[in-house]
Amino acid sequence: MKRILISNRGEIALRLIRAFREFGYFSVLAYSEADRSSLPVKLSDAAICIGPPSAKGSYLNIPAIISAIEITGCDAVHPGYGFLAESPQFARVCKDAGIIFIGPSPEAMEKVGDKSVARSVAMSAGVPVVPGSTGFVSKEDLLRLAKEIGFPLILKASAGGGGKGMRIVQSFKELDDSFDTASNEALTAFGNSNLYLEKYVSEPRHIEIQFARDKFGNCISLFERECSIQRKHQKLIEESPSCAISPKLRKVLSDSALAIANQVGYVGVGTAEFLVTPEEMFYFIEINARIQVEHPVTEMVTGVDLVELQLIIAEDRPIPFSQEDVKITGHAIECRINAEDPRNNFCPSPGRVDQYIPPGGPGIRCDSHLYSGFKVVPYYDSLIAKVISYAPTRERAINRMERALYEMTIEGISTTIDFHREVLKNAFFRKGDYYTNFVQRRMGIK
Ligand code: MV4
C-alpha cells in the first residue's frame, strides 16, 4: 500500500491523514463541496471533490468514490467510521476492482452486520447472549416466544445497530403494534424489515471490547471501553478501564470477543459490545466492524496506535506484538464535544466558529478539525472535537479533563462543553456509579 484514499471527513479524516503521514503513506482525501475549506483538505497530500454536500451524493456515493480512487491512482481506501465503513457492498466493489478496503472482508462484515446472525455466531462460539429469538422472529412465532422469554422484551432490527430501530415491549397488549411499527421503521431505515427479540435487560452497563485479528489468525484484545454515558444512543463520554470490570471479568469478556472474531474469520480491528449487569452477568449484543469514534481512549491506556494496526493488518503483515505485551497503564476519558445546544434539546448548532482554542498540556489529546473562522456545516453529524485526558488514576484523569475543558474555547456556536463539565462534577459519575440511564436519571435530561 502506498496511496490511500480517505472516504470520510471531519476529525476522523484528520486522524487518518496524521497516521498516514507518520507511517509513510500518501493520503488522498475525497471530500464533498461542503467540506472544501476544511482542515483535512488542507493537510492531506492530495484532495478530490466527489460530489454535493448531501452524504448520498458524496460520502455514500460508491461510484464517485471508486472513480476518485482510480483517477488519483490510489491502491487502498480507508472509510473511517459512519458512511460506508460497514457496508459489505462497498467492501465487495473495492475487492472486485482490486482496491484494498481497510477493514474486514465483505463476508465477515455481512455476518456481523446482520445482528441476528451475529447473535447465532456468538452462541455457536459459546458466548452468552441475552435470552431471545434464534435468528429473526416472524409474526407467527412472536406470541409463543414472548411467553417463553417473559416481559419486558426488546425488539431490534436485524440490520440495525447502535440503538436504531429498537422497541421496548412491556406487555402482551403492546406486542402486535410494536412489531408492526418496528418492522416498518426497520424497512424504511435499513431496507430490511427483519426483527429479532431479546429479553430487556434493565440498568445495564454498555461495555465494549476492542480487538484486532490478522490474516494469520493472531487475535488480541485491547480490553474494554465503558460507554454507558450516552443520550438517545449517542455516546457522550467513554473511558478505559471501566470501574465495573474486574480483572477476571476483563479476561472473560476478552476471550468472548476473540472467540466471536475467530468464529467469523474476522481480519482487522473491531469491537464487541456487551451489556453488563450490576451482578456481573454479561451478554454479547453486537459487533462493530470499524474503527470507532472512541478508539483514542484505548490508544492512550494501551499505547497501541489502532490506525497503524489497521494498516499492518490490511497489508497482510502479522500483528507485531502478543497478548502478554498489552497492558492497561493509567486511565483515559474521552468527552465528545458536539455543535449542539444542550439547553434546546441538544439541537444541532451549525455556524461560524469565531474563535477556537484547543486544550493542551500534559496528558491531553484533542482530536478536532476545527480552526478559528471554520464554518460547521449542517449536513453531517455534529461531532466537532474529542478531548481525551490520560492520567495515572481515574480521579486524576477526571480532574485533568476538567482542567482541559476550562482551557477550551469555542466561540460563535453552541457546544456541549458545559454539559460535560456538569457530568464531570456529578457525584455518581465521580464514584463510577452509573448505568446507561445516567443522563436521564442523574442529570434529569430527556
Ligand atoms: C439492549 C438493552 C437492554 N436489553 N438489549 C442500545 C444500543 C444497542 N447497541 C443496544 N442497546 C441496548 N440493547 C437488551 N436485550 C439496552 C440497550 C440500551 C438502551 C436501550 C433503550 C434505551 C436506552 C438504552 C441505552 C443504552 C443501551
How far, in Å, from the CA of 265 to the mean position of ligand 1?
A: 27
Considering the domain boundaries, does residue 260 fall inside one? yes
pLDDT at 284 > cutoff 90: yes
The verdict on the CB of residue 154 being under 6 Å from ligand 1 is yes
Task: Write the pLDDT tens digit of every residue in 351-404.
Answer: 999 999 999 999 999 999 999 999 999 999 999 999 999 999 999 999 999 999
Q: Output the DSSP codes for 134-162.
A: SS---HHHHHHHHHHH-SSEEEEEEEEET
Residue 137 scores a pLDDT above 90: yes
Is 322 inside any structural domain? yes
Provide the whole-model pTM.
0.97
Q: Is the CB of 13 under 6 A from ligand 1?
A: no
CA of 15 to the centre of ligand 1 (A): 29
110 belongs to a structural domain: no
Domain co-membership, 89 together with 142: no
Q: Average pLDDT in the 84-107 region?
A: 98
Asked if residues 154 and 160 have their Cβ atoms less than 8 Å apart, the reply is no
Distance CA(317)–CA(312), nearest Å, equals: 5
Q: Residue 446: pLDDT above 90?
A: no
Closest CA to 278 of 437, 416, 410, 119: 437
- 377 and 245: one domain? yes
State the pLDDT at residue 291. Answer: 98
The pLDDT of 27-38, averaged and rounded, is 98
Query: Is pLDDT of 167 > 90?
Result: yes
Residue to mutate, 155, 225, 285, 286, ligand 1, most ligand atoms under 8 Å from C-beta: 285
Whether residue 146 is found in the same domain as residue 278: no
Confirm or reject: Cβ of 273 under 6 Å from ligand 1. Answer: yes
Q: How confident is the model at residue 165 (pLDDT cuts 50, 70, 90)?
A: confident
DSSP class of 129: B
Rounded average pLDDT over 324-341: 98
Instruction: Give per-residue burial for 15-31: e unless 16+ CB within 10 Å, then b.
Output: bbbebbeeeebbbbbbb
Q: Does residue 396 share a domain with residue 270?
A: yes
Q: Among 9, 167, 290, 394, which one carries the catalytic annotation?
A: 290
Query: How many Å apart are CA 296 and CA 276, to the nearest integer?
Result: 22
The one-letter amino acid at 135: G
**pLDDT exceeds 80 at position 120:** yes
What's the mean pLDDT in 155-161? 92
Q: Are residues 355 and 372 in the same domain?
A: yes
Same-domain check for residues 286 and 348: yes
Check pocket membership of 397 for ligand 1, CB cut-off 6 A. no
Backbone torsions φ then ψ of 12, nearest 5 degrees: -70, -35
* pLDDT score at 363: 98
- The answer to whether residues 277 and 368 belong to one domain is yes
- pLDDT exceeds cutoff 90 at 445: yes
- Which residues contact residue 433 at a Cβ distance below 8 angstroms, ignoring those fewer than 6 apart? none
35 in any annotated domain: yes
Residue % of the chain over a pLDDT of 90? 98
Q: Coil, strand or helix: which one is 403?
A: helix
Final residue in a domain of this structure, among 139, 166, 199? 199
Q: Which domain holds residue 236?
A: 205-443
Structural domain ending residue among the three candidates 151, 176, 199:
199
Q: How confident is the model at residue 251 (pLDDT cuts 50, 70, 90)?
A: very high
Alpha-carbon distance 366 to 426, whole Å?
23
CA 275 to ligand 1 center in whole angstroms: 8
Question: Are residues 364 and 239 located together in one domain of the fold?
Answer: yes
Q: Which three cell numbers stand for residue 166?
A: 429498537
Q: What is the pLDDT of residue 164?
A: 78
Q: Output the residue whose Cα is nearest ligand 1's atom 9.
A: 162
For a ligand 1 pocket test, name from 156, 158, 166, 438 the mutation site with the most ligand atoms within 8 angstroms of its C-beta.
166
Residue 365 lies in a domain: yes
Report the half-sphere exposure of 241 (CA within 13 A, side-chain side): 19
Answer whether 144 contacts ligand 1 (Cβ < 6 A). no
Query: What is the biggest distance separating any 2 CA atoms in the chain, rounded to whole angstroms?
Result: 61
Domain count, the chain: 3
243 CA distance to ligand 1 centroid (A)? 20
pLDDT of residue 217: 98
Quick check: CB of 208 below 6 Å from ligand 1? no
Cell triple for 313 = 493488518
- Beta carbon of 200 within 6 Å of any ligand 1 atom: yes
Confidence of residue 169 (pLDDT cuts 50, 70, 90): very high
**Ligand 1 centroid from CA 235, angstroms:** 12
Model confidence at 146, in pLDDT bands (50, 70, 90)? very high
Q: Does ligand 1 have an atom closer than 6 angstroms to the CB of 287?
A: no
Q: In this structure, is residue 438 part of a structural domain?
A: yes
CATH of the domain at 57: 3.40.50.20
Question: What mean pLDDT is predicted for residues 339-354?
Answer: 97
Which amino acid is located at 70 in the chain? Answer: E
Task: Let me know if 442 is a catalytic residue.
Answer: no
Residue nearest to atom 6 of ligand 1 (CA): 163
Q: Give residue 124's pLDDT.
A: 97
Q: Is the pLDDT score of 161 beyond 90? A: no
Say yes or no: CB of residue 206 within 6 Å of ligand 1.
yes
199, 233, 257 - which closes a domain: 199
Ligand 1 atom closest to the Cα of residue 273 is: 9
* Residues 262, 48: Cα–Cα separation, whole Å: 38
Query: Residue range 285-293: average pLDDT?
Result: 97
- Look at residue 277 and tell me whether its pLDDT is greater than 90: yes
Amino acid at 284: F
Q: Is the CB of 34 inside a 6 Å radius of any atom of ligand 1? A: no
Per DSSP bridges, beta strands 268-276 and 282-288 are: antiparallel
- Residue 108 domain-assigned? no
State whether 292 and 432 are in the same domain.
Answer: yes
184 and 227 housed in the same domain: no
What pLDDT does residue 342 have?
Answer: 96
Provide the pLDDT for residue 162. Answer: 76
Using CA positions, which residue lies closest to atom 16 of ligand 1? Answer: 201
What average pLDDT is seen over the chain? 97
Judge if 239 and 296 occupy the same domain.
Answer: yes
Domain CATH number, residue 256: 3.30.470.20
Does residue 109 fall inside a structural domain? no
Q: What's the pLDDT score for residue 183?
A: 93
The pLDDT assigned to 89 comes to 98
Distance 161 CA to ligand 1 centre (A): 10
Q: 212 with 349, same domain?
A: yes
